[in-house]
Amino acid sequence: MRFVSMAFKNLRRRPVRSILTITGVALAVAVAVSLAGFNLGYRNAIERSIDRLGFQLMIMSKGCPYEAATMMLKGGTGLLYLPSEIYEKVRNDPDIGSITPVFIGIAEKEGSGIRDDSGSAFAIIAGIDVQSYMEMKPWLEFETGTGFENGRWFKVDSEDEVVMGYEAATYEQRKVGDKFLATISPQGAARSIQKTFRIAGILKRTGTQDDGTVFLPLKNAQKLFNRPNELTILGIKMKQFSGAKLQEFESRWLSLPSVQVVSLQQVKSTLVMLIGTAQTMIAAVTIIAVLVALIGVINAILMSVYERTGEIGVMKAIGAFRGDIFQLIWIETLVICIIGAVTGTLVAISGSRLVEAAIKKLINLGVQGSIVLINWQIITGVMAGAVIVGFFAGLYPAWRAASMHPIDAIREGE
């Protein structure tokens, strides 16, 4: 029989107390693992979404939406477009692997409401050059199956064909061959025009913004919005993507007065920074949970020490050194923390789908796929943390027990 097995046996003396204390630790660990998993999963989801854009860089007009996070709060500076000639200039840059021009406009749609004052909704219209767009996003495919048969891209010079993202089509309950209505306000026009399109194809769900987009031929989009020589974004993939190459590229094109070069890495960093506040809150919640568990453990072990005062005195009488008593109590604390950590980790892993569903239900994070990712690093990190917490939690009770004078302890026990 060793100290460890003695520690286990001592914990069984008060099973309810031990279970409650372990449960407190387990809850704190489950919270820590779940929140760390959410933190990691959400970052990964953002990275995935950025990667699925296909572009590494975007050239766009200065001012929007690079600081869009604050722009949303402080107001925009107007719809901004690039002159098409910038595309003609940039496309010959030697570092560019591929480039695609995109025109984005907003079309009005029927709002969703039963009252007369219900406002409008909007649809994102993207005018694209199919060939170069597909080079950036080779994973785009057309939905097949009933209602989606024979989907295809529109002809380059088509004026009435669109291709819809999966979500856009489902929301409108459209099939291939159906009509799609949109109200467009051309630049400088006094009135909006309602345009009827035919749906040439519906894309498979990609889990990206393309799912909610309606695509038109680039020239037609420019014509409809009466911006024939304007673009919104140039999406670019470099031949070699590195920090140095990016800086060189930026330095070549930032001299143009009206443009900014946005690296998707920078956007990722901005987004990550935006969720930094959430991360701080997550860390705070975790720390509070850990502190509460720590206090519970110290309290439970101290109570146990006081209850066993006489026994501790006798153990000292029969030859236990201070270190032996210290070890005994300290191991009990570690055992509680380790069992609690293992239990909490298992609860977090088995409940991660539930946690994910709850988070997605409560907050529209706008990402698809898993947002809770619990990997081995998180598990080992949290478990190690629990052991460290147990290490410190046991110090005071163990010291108290070891410091008891045998006579006083025996007398107190009587």
Partner 1 sequence: MEKGKTIIEGFGLKRYYQRGSETVKAVDGIDIVIRSGEMVSVLGPSGSGKTTLVHLLSCLDAPTGGSLLVEGVSVEGLSEDELAGVRRKTMGFVFQKFYLLPTLTVAENVELPLLFLRKQPDRAATMEVLGQVGLEDRAEHLPNELSGGQMQRAAIARGLIINPRLLIADEPTGNLDSENSKSIFDLFGHLVRDKGISILVTTHNLSLGRLANRVITLQDGKVVKEDRF
Partner 2 sequence: MSLFRYNTTVTGKEYFMQKAFCFALLLNLIWQVSGAHAAVGCTLSNPSQDLKYLFPEMSTYREDVKALDQMADGRELFQKLKERLGSDLDPVYETYETPYTVYTIFKGDNVIGYVHGVNVPGEGGVIQIFASVNPQTGAMSRFFFQRLESTVAKLLKKKEFLSQFNGLTLADFYKHDYFSKVEPASTEDKVAGIKNPIPSGQNDSDYRSTLRGVRKNLILLDMFVYKQKDEPFYKRAQEVLAEKKKEAVKPLEKKQ
Q: Which 57-76 residues touch partner 2, going by CB under 8 A?
A: 58, 64-65, 68-69, 71-72, 75-76
Among the listed residues 381, 361, 360, the one whose alpha carbon sits nearest the alpha carbon of residue 369: 360
Task: Give the residue, chosen from 322, 349, 367, 395, that forms a contact with partner 1 under the rule CB under 8 A.
Answer: 322
Query: Given the complex with partner 1, which of 239 and 411 has the nearer CB atom?
Result: 411
Q: How many CB atoms lie within 10 A of CB 2?
A: 7
Total residues at the site for partner 2 (CB under 8 A)?
A: 70
Task: Give the residue, chosen from 123, 202, 259, 410, that forms a contact with partner 1 under the rule CB under 8 A.
Answer: 410
258 binds partner 2 per the rule CB under 8 A: no
177 binds partner 2 per the rule CB under 8 A: no
With CB cut-offs between 5 and 8 Å by kind, which of partner 2, partner 1, none does residue 179 bind? partner 2
CA angle 61, 66, 74 (to 5 degrees): 105
Task: Give the residue, chosen from 21, 56, 84, 213, that forms a contact with partner 2 under the rule CB under 8 A.
Answer: 213
Tokens found for residue 343: 């239990």
412 binds partner 1 per the rule CB under 8 A: no
Q: Could you give the angle at which helices 276-307 and 376-393 cross, rounded to 10 degrees? A: 40
CA dist 266 and 65 (Å) reads 12
With CB cut-offs between 5 and 8 Å by kind, which of partner 1, partner 2, none does residue 323 bind? partner 1
Task: Give the residue, chosen from 4, 40, 79, 256, that forms a contact with partner 2 under the rule CB under 8 A.
Answer: 79
Name the minimum Å distance from CB 93 to partner 2.
21
Q: Is the dihedral of CA 69, 70, 72, 76 positive or negative?
A: negative
Q: How many CB atoms lie within 10 A of CB 4?
A: 14
Interface characters, 292-321, with partner 1 (x: CB under 8 A): ------------------xx--xxxxxxxx
15 binds partner 1 per the rule CB under 8 A: no
Name the minimum Å distance from CB 301 to partner 1.
16
Query: Given the complex with partner 2, which of 246 and 289 has the nearer CB atom?
Result: 246
Task: Give the residue, chosen from 13, 179, 239, 405, that forms a contact with partner 2 under the rule CB under 8 A.
Answer: 179
For the stretch 46-50, contacts whose Cβ atoms lie closer than 8 Å and that sit 24 or more positions apart, written own/partner, are: 46/268, 46/271, 46/272, 46/275, 46/367, 47/268, 48/207, 48/367, 48/369, 49/207, 49/208, 49/367, 49/368, 50/264, 50/267, 50/268
**β partners of residue 82:** 231
E strand residue ranges, 133-203: 161-164, 179-184, 193-202
